[in-house]
Structure 1
């Protein structure tokens, strides 16, 4: 029965750590731009082709 208390304590500690990391990520602005990554894949080839052309010239 004491093992279950240890497991509950460890799981609570891990949950608190994940919650703290999540709040730090939100505070630093990791989740502010949620539209650009979906659009970026559409323009990636165009940007790479321009860079290749600039390097050739």
Structure 2
């Protein structure tokens, strides 16, 4: 294959790949994948902190009532 005929292979592959990427992007927007970007990240970071805070609050309340 010389330099000109390789375009007959590369161009259709690139166009098909572009169509797949656009289709996946449109699906993700339509199914609200970008609706709340921070919630899942915050859940991972602060999930354990809530339990630790509750335990510390109960201990503090028990110490104050004694």
TM-score band, normalised by shorter chain: 0.5 to 0.7
Question: Are residue 4 (structure 1) and residue 12 (structure 2) matched?
Answer: no
User: Helix, strand or coil for the counterpart of 2:35?
Assistant: coil
| Segments ≥4 residues shifted beyond 2 Å | 46-49
The RMSD of aligned alpha carbons is: 2.0
* Rg (Cα) greater in structure: 2
Aligned pair count reads: 49
Greater relative CO (CA pairs within 8 A, separation 6+): 1
Q: Counterparts in 2 of 1:5-24, with a 5 A limit?
A: 5-24=8-27
Gaps of 5+ in 2: 53-66
Deviation, 1:22, is 0.8
TM-score, scaled relative to structure 2: 0.59
TM-score, scaled relative to structure 1: 0.66
